[in-house]
Amino acid sequence: MICDSCGKEPATVHYKEMRGDESTEYHLCEKCALEKGIYITPDKKPFTVSNILGGMADEVGSDLETCEGCGLTYREFKDSGRLGCAKCYESFKEQLRPLLRRIHGSNAHMGKSPSSRQEIFEKKKEIDKIKEELAAAVDREEFEKAAELRDKLRELECS
Partner 1 sequence: MTIDEMAGSVSPWLTGQAGHGESVISTRVRLARNLAGLPFCHSAKPEDLTHALDRIRDAVMSTNTLKTGTYMVMSELSDLDREFLVERHLISQEQAEKSGVRAVVVGDNEMVSVMINEEDHLRLQSIQPGFQSMEAWRLVDRVDSDLDTRLEFAFSCDWGYLSACPTNTGTGMRASMLVHLPALVLTGQVNRVLQGISQMGLAVRGFYGEGSEVMGNLFQISNRTALGTSEVDILQSLDNVVRKVLEMENQGREILLRDARSQIEDKIWRAYGLLKYARRLTSQEVMSLSSAVRLGKCMGIVDRVSIGALNRMLFVSQPAHLQKRLGRRMSPGERDEERANMVRSILEEEESRTGAG
Residue 60 engages partner 1 in binding (rule: CB under 8 A): no
Name the amino acid, one letter, at 31: K
Q: Which of residues 24-43 bind partner 1 (CB under 8 A)?
A: none
Nearer to partner 1, 11 or 83 (CB): 83
CB of 98 to partner 1, least distance (A): 11
Task: Name the packing angle between helices 49-56 and 93-104 (round to 10°).
Answer: 120
39: left (phi over 0), alpha (psi -120 to 50) or beta: beta
Question: Nearest approach, Cβ of 121 to partner 1 (angstroms)?
Answer: 5
Nearer to partner 1, 104 or 140 (CB): 104
Tell which positions 86-125 bind partner 1, by CB under 8 A: 86, 89, 96, 99-100, 103-117, 120-121, 124
Check binding of 8 to partner 1 (CB under 8 A). Answer: no
Contact between 55 and partner 1 by CB under 8 A: the answer reads no
Of the pair 4, 63, the CB lying nearest partner 1 is at 63
Considering only residues 69, 133, 138, 148, which one is a binding residue for partner 1 as defined by CB under 8 A?
69
Instruction: Give one DSSP letter per residue of the chain, joined into a string.
Output: -B-TTTSSSBP-EEEEEEETTEEEEEEE-HHHHHHTT----TTTS---HHHHHHHH----S-TT-B-TTT--BHHHHHHHS--SSTTHHHHTHHHHHHHHHHHHS-SS--S---GGGHHHHHHHHHHHHHHHHHHHHHHTT-HHHHHHHHHHHHHHHH-
Total of chain residues touching partner 1, rule CB under 8 A: 35
Is 87 or 152 the residue whose CB approaches partner 1 more closely? 87
Site residues, partner 1 (CB under 8 A): 49-50, 53, 69-70, 72, 80-86, 89, 96, 99-100, 103-117, 120-121, 124
